């Protein structure tokens, strides 16, 4: 009940920030289609603005399928769910439906996040971890018509059922995650590591590892989990002649990503040059600084997570979520991407054991959450 109360207060608070932003600042959208999918809904701005940026593309897909060029960059499960629930609720514009899905998904994600942490940690750590998740500077994306809440739920469920050793449910939910975002496929190596954490059947190390490998091959992880990604790729090949169309469509949304792998030191050096050469009063400086701080902060927290001996499968997934996007040569959207690296919340939940530390970080995060939420509601780019 405590966490449900926290979640309700959090959601009401964000609506309040949106309302105050609406009456004090003009709406200046840095994205298309607001006049098509949002204004005609008849809803107030503090409601429809949660469909800003990627939200309008999910609305497009949910209402019309992949008819719009380059919307194939967005995986299909979330908009399919919006379309199905919208038919039940008779929600023509799907703006309310999308927010309902996000809220229910986050509610269930918190329930199972608590259950997952209960395997290893005591209530104070669990409370702080969940509080940090809700107060995280970009946590407002969990309330928006984005995949963040739904995908977080699927990620938490896969790890929860892995810990329960229910590999069939783990694999099936993992397949759903892979049909929701491309990063869903990153669950596979992490869950293979989780499987290998099963107690050795033999005192002989070589025999024990061999038994684990045979057992892993027999589980549905290797065969079922990738199917969400594979089915979508086959759909793209059949209908658009390019099974990697979701990747090739990325530049249309300003992703500025490289087809070749760029090592993290090169990306860091690029951002240092941007911060040294761009005017500190420009939007470009602000955006680059936020992305750079988010990336470096996440890397630092992941390193701390190793010292705290957080479970290896959690850490591997966290590292993949943080590092893989940077291999494309940019840290664009990094403040949003790291929301899904759930070990970050656990690291802070463990580290902020003193009340003063916890309250100080919470106050800083809350201030940033208000600022970034207001930016998003105004139609300005955050991540």
pLDDT at 29: 86
pTM value is 0.94
**How far, in Å, CA of 20 to CA of 177, rounded?**
35
Beta strands (DSSP E) in 134-214 are none
pLDDT at 254: 59
Among candidates 286, 301, 313, 296, which has minimal Cα distance to 347? 301
Signed CA dihedral, 277, 282, 288, 289: sign only: positive
**How far, in Å, CA of 381 to CA of 83, rounded?**
26
Q: What angle do CA 368, 369, 373 make, to 5 degrees?
A: 115
pLDDT at 262: 81
Extract the tokens encoding 267.
């990306």
pLDDT at 206: 67
pLDDT at 197: 83
Per-residue pLDDT of the chain (383 residues), as tens digits, is: 678 889 999 999 999 999 999 999 998 888 887 778 888 888 999 999 999 999 999 999 999 999 888 899 999 999 999 999 999 998 888 999 999 999 999 999 999 999 999 999 999 999 999 999 999 999 999 999 999 999 999 999 999 999 999 999 999 999 999 999 999 999 999 999 999 887 555 556 666 677 777 778 888 999 999 999 999 999 999 999 999 999 888 777 655 565 567 888 899 999 999 999 999 888 889 999 999 999 999 999 999 999 999 999 999 999 999 999 998 888 999 999 999 999 999 999 999 999 999 999 999 999 999 999 999 999 999 98
């Amino acid at each position: 009940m405590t966490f449900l109360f926290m979640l309700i207060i959090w959601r009401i608070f964000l609506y309040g920030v949106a309302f105050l932003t609406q009456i004090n600042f003009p709406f200046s959208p840095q994205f298309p289609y607001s006049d098509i999918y949002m204004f005609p809904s008849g809803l107030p701005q503090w409601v429809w603005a949660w469909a800003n940026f990627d939200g309008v593309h999910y609305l497009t897909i949910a209402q019309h399928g992949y008819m719009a060029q380059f919307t194939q960059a967005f995986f299909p499960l979330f908009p399919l769910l919006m379309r199905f629930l919208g038919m039940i609720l008779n929600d023509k514009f799907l703006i309310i439906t999308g927010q309902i899905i996000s809220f229910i998904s986050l509610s269930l994600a918190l329930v199972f996040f608590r259950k997952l942490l209960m395997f290893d940690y005591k209530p104070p750590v669990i409370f702080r971890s969940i509080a940090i998740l809700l107060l995280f500077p970009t946590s407002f994306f969990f309330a928006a018509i984005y995949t963040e809440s739904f995908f977080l739920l699927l990620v938490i469920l896969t790890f929860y059922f892995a810990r329960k050793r229910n590999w069939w449910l783990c694999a099936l939910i993992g397949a759903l995650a892979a049909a929701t975002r491309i990063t869903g496929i990153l669950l596979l190596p992490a869950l293979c590591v989780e499987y290998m954490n099963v107690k050795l059947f033999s005192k002989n190390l070589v025999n024990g590892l061999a038994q684990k490998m045979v057992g892993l091959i027999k589980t549905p992880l290797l065969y079922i989990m990738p199917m969400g990604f594979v089915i979508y790729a086959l759909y793209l090949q059949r209908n658009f002649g390019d099974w990697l169309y979701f990747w090739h469509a990325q530049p249309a949304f300003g992703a500025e990503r490289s087809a070749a792998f760029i090592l993290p030191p090169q990306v860091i050096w690029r951002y240092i040059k941007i911060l040294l050469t761009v005017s500190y009063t420009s939007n470009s400086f602000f955006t680059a600084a936020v992305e750079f701080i988010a990336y470096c902060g996440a890397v630092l927290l992941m390193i701390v997570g190793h010292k705290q001996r957080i479970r290896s499968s959690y850490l591997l997934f966290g590292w993949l979520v943080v590092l893989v996007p940077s291999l494309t040569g940019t840290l664009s959207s990094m403040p949003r991407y790291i929301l899904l690296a759930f070990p970050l919340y656990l690291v802070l939940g463990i580290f902020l054991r003193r009340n003063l530390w916890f309250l100080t970080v919470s106050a800083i995060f809350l201030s940033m959450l208000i600022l970034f939420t207001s930016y998003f509601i105004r139609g300005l780019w955050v991540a």
